Structure 1
């Protein structure tokens, strides 16, 4: 199997902290980057696409859900590692569930609706708890 080739520049991505009945949707990555870790649905922004359009598209592709975006809940930068991996700037948004039931695509192998206090011992991507806390504040205000 050939090693993954990563672009020589940062990639812009979006993610959504989707809240339904005071619980947030977490999805577990089925492949790299982040294989085995729970995170928020999302992905790369395509050329010419707004951040909101990208988030709606990614959430629909990955989960089949419709959402209402509330606002920016934070961002994080993922730098390349010595073992490989790309360079990403991820803009994370707070969103309310609007319609649909979760139907995962092949990028994920599990999902959970959890209260922010119920994340327990799950393997989470870096900075996830801060984004969820910020999203919760935005949605409750």
Structure 2
């Protein structure tokens, strides 16, 4: 369960974000989040879309900023909605994340202010990793899409 700060101001509308499942040698890049929501959970690198950039541009920018990886987008995977409510039922956070599938081009993953740990993982075998709620489904779909596009997943 994702914990949400109880003192957060209720959002006026959902926040648009983008992420990318990057594949390299059959593995997918995962990172732990360092901020709520999803603090300390394994997820895909990603973040908020800035005004004037496309969803794909945002996904690639966030990938580079968070973990130092360059990739190319292969296609759209699915969207994920992340929201929370306080004890009174008021919405505290609402994110809509456009999730893409990508192929690694260059760079080695590094940690930073938004990625506490990084690893290349088997997309179909996450074991007992503490992950964001829908990561397993996102990765199964991403793995299939990468394979259909001719990738070596």
TM-score, normalised with respect to structure 2? 0.85
Q: CA deviation at 1:112?
A: 1.3
Q: CA deviation at 1:6?
A: 4.9
Alignment deviations for residues 59-96 of structure 1 (CA, whole Å, 9 cap, x no partner)? 01001100010111111111232167411111100111
Q: 1:70 matched to which residue of 2?
A: 74
Q: 2:117 matched to which residue of 1?
A: 110
Q: 1:58 matched to which residue of 2?
A: 62
Native 8 Å contact 1:69 1:93 kept in 2:
yes
Q: How does 1:77-92 map to 2 (within 5 A)?
A: 77-82=81-86, 85-92=92-99
**Greater CA deviation, 4-13 or 25-34?**
4-13
Of 122, 128, 133 in structure 1, the residue corresponding to residue 129 of structure 2 is 122
Q: Distance in 2 between matches of 1:66 and 1:127?
A: 24
Unaligned runs of 5+ in 2: 1-5, 149-153
Structure 2 SS opposite 1:80: strand
Q: CA deviation at 1:134?
A: 1.1
Q: Distance in 2 between matches of 1:85 and 1:22?
A: 37
Native 8 Å contact 1:31 1:108 kept in 2:
no
Of 15, 18, 24 in structure 2, the residue corresponding to residue 14 of structure 1 is 18
Q: 2:102 matched to which residue of 1?
A: 95
Q: 1:26 matched to which residue of 2?
A: 30
Deviating 4+ runs (over 6 angstroms): none
Unaligned runs of 5+ in 1: none
TM-score, normalised with respect to structure 1? 0.92
**Greater CA deviation, 87-96 or 6-15?**
6-15
| Aligned-residue CA RMSD (Å) | 1.6
